Amino acid sequence: MLFARTDISQYINNSYEPVWQSLHEVPIVSVDFGGGRVLKRTLNGNIATYIITADGTVVDILPGIYKPDTYLSQLKALHNLAVDCRHESSSTLVSARLSRYHRELAARPVHLTGSLEPQAGPANLPANLETDTRINETLRRHQIHQKLAQTPPKLSQSLTNWLYKEVLHCDLSDPYLGLASTLAGQPQ
C-alpha cells in the first residue's frame, strides 16, 4: 500500500538507496469450506523501515505500517538528518549527533489518546491505519529512541531481532510467530 503510491516510491528511489529484506517465509493459510471451495491467502507480516548511513549506522527506524502522508513526512525528516550526518567529519561525531537526537526524543513524554483496539471489517481499515500510525509514532518510536540513544548501532541481526520481538511483538525466532497455541486450538 505505501510503496505502491507513486509519490512515496519516487521519493524513496530519488532520496535513498532502497533495499528490501524478507526476514522469514510468508505464512499461507488455507480454509476449506467444503464442496471444493478453499480460501488460500498469506498472513500479513510486519514491516520496519530502517534509515541507515552508507557505513551501516542506524539513523532511525520507522516501525510498522503508517498512513501514507505521515510515512512520507517522516522519510523526508529522516533523510535530512541522514544528510546532516554525512557532513560530520568522523564516525564519532555522527554517533554523538545521533545519540543526542535519540536522547532528546526519548526524553519527551508519550501521550497516546483514543482506542488502541483494531475494529473488525474492511470499512474500518482507515481508522485502524490511523491507530497503527499513532502507536508507531508514540509507543514504538519511543522504544526505538530509547534503544538508539545509548549508541546508534550498526545495522545487525541482533538489532532486528530486538525490534521485532520487543517493539513489534513478533518473535522472529518463533517459527509459528506466536500463533502455535491458536493453530492447535488451545487458548493462549
pLDDT tens for each residue of the chain, 188 residues long = 677 889 999 999 999 988 877 777 767 778 888 898 888 776 656 789 999 988 899 999 999 989 999 999 999 999 999 999 888 878 889 888 999 999 999 999 988 777 777 777 777 777 888 889 999 999 999 999 999 998 778 889 899 999 999 999 888 888 877 777 766 665 55
Distance CA(112)–CA(40), nearest Å, equals: 36
pTM equals 0.83
| 110 touches 136 (CB < 8 A) | no
Alpha carbon distance 64, 75 (integer Å): 14
